Amino acid sequence: MKGSININAEICKECGLCIIYCKQALIIKSDTYNAKGYFPARFEDGNGKCTACGTCALVCPELAIEVYGEETAHAR
């Protein structure tokens, strides 16, 4: 399954749990502050490696991450 995530940068408090637990290492710390003065997490997946496993959303204490998955067709 291919996936993507959306991180609400304005409620992210830079705890870093999503960065630690992303098995594909697709989440990084932003280099710009949010309105509260934190460097929020940022999703970087230029190669389509996200599997929509949902671990990042499960570990986020602020509920700032939404996960989207897309089934891919398999040839028989």
* pLDDT, mean of each 10-residue run, the chain (76 residues): 94 98 97 97 93 97 96 56
CATH number of the CATH domain containing 8: 3.30.70.20
Give yes or no for a contact between 50 and 2, defined as CB atoms under 8 angstroms apart: yes
| pLDDT at residue number 17 | 98
| pLDDT at residue number 18 | 98
| pLDDT at residue number 47 | 87
Range of the structural domain that residue 30 is part of: 2-70
Left if phi > 0, otherwise alpha if psi is -120 to 50, otherwise beta: which for 6? beta
| pLDDT at residue number 46 | 81
| pLDDT at residue number 32 | 97
Distance in angstroms (rounded) separating the CA atoms of residues 4 and 48: 8
Is residue 13 included in any domain, yes or no?
yes
Give the predicted TM-score (pTM) of the model. 0.87
Is residue 76 included in any domain, yes or no?
no
Is residue 44 included in any domain, yes or no?
yes
Total count of domains within the chain? 1
| pLDDT at residue number 70 | 84
